[in-house]
Structure 1
Amino acid sequence: MARYIVIVEKSDDEYFAYVPALPGCTSSGQTPGQALDHIIEAISLTQSYLTEQHLPIPDQIETIAEVEVH
């Protein structure tokens, strides 16, 4: 089992989710929960594709920083 950081952002009319460690792995939904449900499926599909193509599955980014900008 792999664990990834998922970013969920609100746009004008929906929520957009993506995985920084898996470029191109994105999804959306009408609610944050729906976006998360969809990104879990997208992660699984991305991992399957990479495996089928004999490509490495990127590891999770280890460093996360939270900054405050004034």
Structure 2
Amino acid sequence: MRYMVVIEEGPTSFGAYVPDLPGCIAVGESPEEVLQLIQEAIEFHVEGLKEEGQHIPVPHSSSSFVEVQA
């Protein structure tokens, strides 16, 4: 499965979350690190859901950019 990941830059780190997997988050020192960590977090999250016999959410989020005059 392919989940959309949102990455946000903070003052001292990068955060990532997965809209289709509430509570699945990661924090890293660089965009590359946070992507690696969120991939591991997604795998761990999905594995936990399977072990508990819960439904695995189907990816359905998407993203787009909108250009505006500033």
TM (norm. structure 2) is 0.88
**What stretches of structure 1 move > 3 A for 4+ residues in a row?**
62-70
**Structure 1 vs Structure 2 CA RMSD:** 1.5
Distance change in 2, residues 1:46/1:32 (3 Å): same
Residue 18 of structure 1 corresponds to: 17
Structure 2 CA distance, aligned partners of 1:42 and 1:28? 10
Deviations 1:17-65 (A, max 9, x none): 1110000000010000000000000000000000000000101115544
Paired residue secondary structure (2:50) = helix
TM (norm. structure 1) is 0.88
Q: Which structure is higher in RCO with an 8 Å CA cutoff and minimum separation 6?
A: 2
Give 5+ residue unaligned stretches, structure 2: none
For this pair of structures, how many residues does the alignment match? 69
Structure 2 matches for 1:23-42, cutoff 5 A? 23-42=22-41
Distance change in 2, residues 1:39/1:63 (3 Å): closer
